[in-house]
Amino acid sequence: MFKQVRGLFSNDLSIDLGTANTLIYVRNKGIVLDEPSVVAIRKDGNKISPKSILAVGEAAKKMLGRTPGHITAIRPLKDGVIADFTVTEKMLQYFIRNAHGSTFFKPSPRVLVCVPCGSTQVERRAIRESAAGAGARTVHLIEEPMAAAIGAGMPVSDPRGSMVVDIGGGTTEVAVISLNGIVYSESIRIGGDRFDDAIINYVRRNYGSLIGDSTAEKIKKDIGCAYPANEVNELVVRGRNLAEGIPRSFTLNSNEILEALQEPLSGIIDAVKNALEKTPPELGSDVAEQGLVLTGGGAKLKDLDRLLMEECGVPVIIAEDPLTCVARGGGKYLEMIDEFGLDILTID
Amino acid sequence: MTTDNEKNNEVKNELMETPGDILSKKREEVGLSIDDVAEKLNLQPLQIRSLEKNDYDSFNVETYLKGYLRSYAKFIGVDGDKVVNLYKQQNTEKIIEIIPDVKPKSQRSSPNSSTKLFSYVIGLVVVLALIVWYQKEQISEPYITGKEISNIKMKKINKNNVDTSYEIITHSNYWQWPIDKSVENYVDSIEKNNQPSQAELNEDENVNSLEQNSVAEEVENEASYNIQEGTDTIVMNLTGDCWTEIEDRDGNKVFYDLAREGRSYVINGKSPMSVFLGAADEVSILFNGSTVDIKPYIKFGLARFTLPE
């Protein structure tokens, strides 16, 4: 009952609960929150509440891999789904409050959460319940590629095949959409995190040095690329030499990173090719004519569109502001719910 | 629409360069043909030509158009965002969606001020309503004491057991009869009733000549407890309507009603009886036959006192 009343003072939220980043889109306001999905937990001595939340988001991300014994910085989501239920709930609570700013009442918004299309019923239920536990009045779920396509401005309601490839932190979603529905979808557990892991493994193998997640991410952002470029970028990296046990610095160039990323990239290419293969011919020809749209943080990897263009033989375009596509699409979907009713796209 | 666009584009051509100009110029610099570009981008040469001519009518979805512009620009080594921004500036009428910015927390605008105002107004109204309600409560129960609370409890118990005079005496048929004959006579008979018996009570009933049938049964029941030591009688004469509450020794409400103008009421109960009168100026009271001066008790028209004094 109070949730209903509090709902009057709350805005509708669309949450892109991603492995790497959580984005919140508020209707009529835009993206109000874009923070890493990281929570730092402190173990306290007292028995009543042995654990407390120390930091969430950006602050917690800085602690990743740099924490003393009594603090753990964790990412509660793995592969696009919840790995730690309670921590996710706390994180969502924090984000929802934060997205609302200071209000008179405790917010109880209507919430739309994007889930990977490959997620199981159990995983969806977990996400739904943690959002409800975080104070949501009602929770709607939408499949990520659908939200991404809406957010990218693709003509999802037309009788025309639109292909979207959403490369997130934990998963890559490939989907062909027509008439507000998903015709074909595939979710593979390759994403930004796998890129980082591939870089860490590569450095260990070839330089005998160990680097952390944050360093690997920095390397990926600075000199990572998916297609051989004319100019070669270099970056000086410091890591612990495994043989000597002391930190050493060495130089990595973009061609090495390209080599390191081959495995996850081929996984994504396979998924796209697979999707093109399994798409009904009529829609396939639409896709071949218009091209596929890349969204998500992975789309920012340099020359990934070129690689896909080369490999798949279809035009590849990168959506505008690819990181926020899913959250924005969710927001538009909430508006569509108000306009057309619930039955258009629901997956409940 | 098409011609308008073309005209607009022509006008703008003179003022600043268009996305198509930048692209075709750069392409020629790099030394690529339209077919080369089309092959690399997996697009039709016709589409490339349209892009270079700023003829966007064949592209019916804007997302794709912007994507093509960006990929083309990137391919020949031009800043893709620059080209797309230029396109957006020159084709503002086509742009429907607004891409929101990611704002840092400090810059974020506070929640809608009208919503905030609304919530404060509602809060204020609730608080005012509470205050008004509380004051009303205070007025209707001006002197509520611990004793009275306990009396109320007792009343409930009695009610459940259905044994006391309360149930019957409070029956309106019993007390609301008008006294046609002179009150003096009546009081005389009451005085005799100081040690009441069943017979005398029945006589009372006769004297007061009300609908006997309805009362008779009650009177029989009444007899078992009404003939108890210390039963006293209050007679009220009214010149105006007066809310009256009379409680007997045990806290039973023997009279709890609006006493009507021009009538007289006879109330039996065990003394001491506490009396509350809502319009005390309109009432004269006889207690066991003797007049009671209630003037000293009257305060703002209300009177609260105990009989016998």
Write the residue in A101, A104, A315 that is nearest to B42 by C-beta. Answer: A315
Rounded Cα distance, A63 and A55, in Å: 9
Q: Which residues of B touch A149 (CB under 8 A)?
A: none
> What tens digit of pLDDT does each residue of B55-88 get?
888 888 888 888 899 889 988 888 888 888 888 8
Check if the beta carbon of residue A55 is closer than 8 Å to that of residue A63.
yes
B67 chain-A contacts, CB cut-off 8 A: 291, 293, 315, 317-319
List of residues 6+ apart from B89 with CB closer than 8 A = none
Query: What's the CA gap between B186 and B208, in Å, rounded?
Result: 9
Using a pLDDT cut of 70, give the percent of chain A over it: 92
A28: left (phi over 0), alpha (psi -120 to 50) or beta: left
Residue A292: list chain B partners with CB under 8 A.
none
Residue A192 near residue A77 (C-beta atoms within 8 A) = no
| pLDDT score of A343 | 58
What order do you get walking across the sheet with A51-56 strand by strand? A51-56, A39-43, A71-74
Tell me what pLDDT residue A6 has: 59
What would the mean pLDDT of A309-333 be, rounded to a whole number?
A: 91
Q: Report residue A287's pLDDT band, with 50, 70 and 90 as the boundaries.
A: very high
Residue of A283, A280, A276 lying closest to A309 (CA atoms): A276
B235 contacts B193 by C-beta, under 8 angstroms: no
Residue A294: both structure tokens together: 């890349």
Rounded Cα–Cα distance for residues B146 and B162 (Å): 24
Least confident of A10-19, A99-108, A180-189, B80-89: A99-108
pLDDT mean over B101-129? 69
Nearest-angstrom CA–CA distance, B70 and A319:
10
Mean pLDDT of chain A: 88
Predicted pLDDT at B56: 86
- Top residue of B30, B59, B88, B99 to mutate, by most chain A CBs within 10 Å, is B99
Sheet with B264-270, side-by-side order of all strands: B264-270, B231-238, B283-287, B290-292
Q: Contact A102/B41, CB-based, under 8 Å?
A: no
User: pLDDT grade, residue B274 (50/70/90)?
Assistant: confident
CA R_g for chain B: 48
Confidence of residue B287 (pLDDT cuts 50, 70, 90): confident
Both structure tokens of A99: 């997205």
Give the three-class secondary structure for A269: helix
| Nearest alpha carbon to residue A159 among A183, A145, A178, A175 | A178
pLDDT band at B122 (very low <50, low <70, confident <90, very high): very high
At B208-224, the pLDDT tens digits run: 544 444 444 444 444 33
Which residue, A309, A81, A267, A36, is CA-closest to A174?
Answer: A267
- Mean pLDDT for the stretch of residues B232-257: 84
pLDDT in the model for residue B176? 45
Which residues neighbour A233 within 8 Å (Cβ) at sequence distance 6 or greater?
A222, A223, A253, A254
Question: Does A320 sit within 8 Å of B103, measured CB to CB?
Answer: no
Residues of B in CB contact (< 8 Å) with A are 40-43, 61-64, 66-68, 70-71, 74-75, 84, 97-103, 105, 108-111, 115-116, 119-120, 123
Task: Give one word for A47, left, alpha or beta, with left for phi > 0 and alpha for psi -120 to 50.
Answer: alpha
State how far Cα B168 lies from the chain centre: 38
- The pair of structure tokens assigned to B267 is 């109330």
Give the residue with greater pLDDT, B300 vs B29: B29
C-alpha neighbours within 13 Å on the C-beta side of residue A145 = 29
> What is the pLDDT averaged over residues B140-168?
48
Asked whether the predicted pLDDT for residue B104 surpasses 70, the reply is: no
* Model confidence pLDDT, tens digit, residues A109-165: 889 999 888 788 988 898 899 889 888 888 989 999 999 999 999 998 889 999 999
**Cα distance between residue B309 and residue B303, in whole Å:** 13
CA B199 to chain centre: 56
- What 3 state SS string does chain B have? CHHHHHHHHHHHHHHCCCHHHHHHHHHHHHCCCHHHHHHHHCCCHHHHHHHHCCCCCCCCCHHHHHHHHHHHHHHCCCCHHHHHHHHHHHCHHHCCCCCCCCCCHHHCCCCCHHHHHHHHHHHHHHHHHHHHHHHHHHHHCCCCCHHHHHHHHHHHHHHHHCCCHHHHHCCHHHHCCCCCCCHHHHHHHHHHCCCCCHHHHHHHHHHHCCCHHHHHHHHHHHHHHHCCCCEEEEEEEECCCEEEEEECCCCCEEEEEEECCCCEEEEEEECCEEEEECCHHHEEEEECCEEECCHHHEECCEEEEEECC
Whether A237 has a pLDDT exceeding 60, the answer reads: yes
Least confidently predicted of A147-151, A162-166, A173-177, B303-307: B303-307
Q: At what angle do helices B2-15 and B80-90 cross, to 10 degrees?
A: 120
Determine the Cα–Cα distance for residues A197 and A208; give it in Å rounded to an integer.
15
Q: State the Cα–Cα distance between residues B204 and B195, nearest whole angstrom.
A: 13
CA A202 from chain center: how many Å? 24
End-to-end C-alpha distance for chain B, whole angstroms: 101
Both tokens of A34, joined, read 């874009």
The whole-number pLDDT of residue A190 equals 92
Q: Report CB contact under 8 Å: B71, A317.
A: yes
Least confident of A223-227, B198-202, B253-257: B198-202
Per-residue pLDDT band for B226 (boundaries 50, 70, 90) equals very low
The radius of gyration of chain A from alpha carbons, rounded to an integer in Å, stands at 21
Asked if residue A1 has pLDDT above 80, the reply is no
**pLDDT attached to residue B276:** 87
Token pair listed for B77: 């080594």
For chain A, percent of residues with pLDDT exceeding 90: 53
| Cα–Cα dist B275/A321, whole Å | 82
Min CA distance, B16 vs chain A (Å)?
Answer: 24
The whole-chain average pLDDT of chain B stands at: 70
Residue in the block written with tokens 């071949």? A288
Q: Model's pTM, two decimal places? A: 0.63
In this prediction the ipTM stands at 0.82
Q: Which of A320, A321, A324 to mutate to test the interface with B (most CBs of B within 10 A)?
A: A320
Answer whether residue B225 shows pLDDT above 80. no
**Could you give the CA distance from residue A269 to residue A21 in angstroms, rounded to a whole number?**
24
Q: Do A317 and B84 touch (CB under 8 A)?
A: no
Angstrom distance (rounded) from CA A82 to CA A4: 27
Q: At what angle do helices B45-52 and B34-41 cross, to 10 degrees?
A: 110
Mean pLDDT value of segment A52-65? 89
